[in-house]
Amino acid sequence: MTAPSQTDKTDKTDKTDKTDKTDKTDHAYVLAQELVKLLDEKKAENIVTLDIRSKASFCDYLVIASGNVSRQIIAMADHLVRSLKNQDIHALVEGVEQGDWILIDAGDVVIHLFRSEVRERYSLEKMWTA
C-alpha cells in the first residue's frame, strides 16, 4: 500500500482492513470514527484510520492526520483532547510544545498529528500496513 499522495489534500479514506469483521458497535471503532469527524472539522488533511488489532497490543486503532502548520496541529490536538475530556476519557499528550508531531493516547485509539513534511519523513502508514 502506498502513502497518500501529496497532491490529494483531502483523503479521508478508512484504511481499516475490509476483510476484517469490525464490530461497528465496538467502543474503539466508534471512538476512532468520531475522532476522524472531529479532525475533519479542523480541516485536517489525509486522515487515515488503521486497524492494528492483529499487529499490536497497545491499542486497537491508529488515526493519522496532517496539517499545514504547527498552529493548526496544536489546534487539532486541543479540539480532540477537549472532546475526549467531555467523554471522561483521559488522554496522554506528547509533542504539543513543538507542534510538528503530536501524539494523543486515548487508550484503545492512538492519534498521530503531523505537519505534512514530518509525516512523509516517518511514514507510519507504511510501517503499520507492511
First to last CA, the chain: 8
pTM of the model: 0.79
Tell which wins on pLDDT, 16 or 48: 48
Superfamily of domain 27-129: Beta Polymerase, domain 2 (3.30.460.10)
Q: What is the pLDDT of residues 51-107, one digit of tens each?
A: 888 777 898 899 999 999 999 999 999 999 999 999 999 999 999 888 899 999 999
Residues shown for the chain? 130
Tell which wins on pLDDT, 69 or 4: 69
- Distance between CA 77 and CA 70 in Å, rounded? 11
Distance of CA 39 to the CA centre of its chain: 8
Mean pLDDT of the chain: 82
- Distance between CA 48 and CA 54 in Å, rounded? 17
Residue 112: all three cell numbers together: 498521530
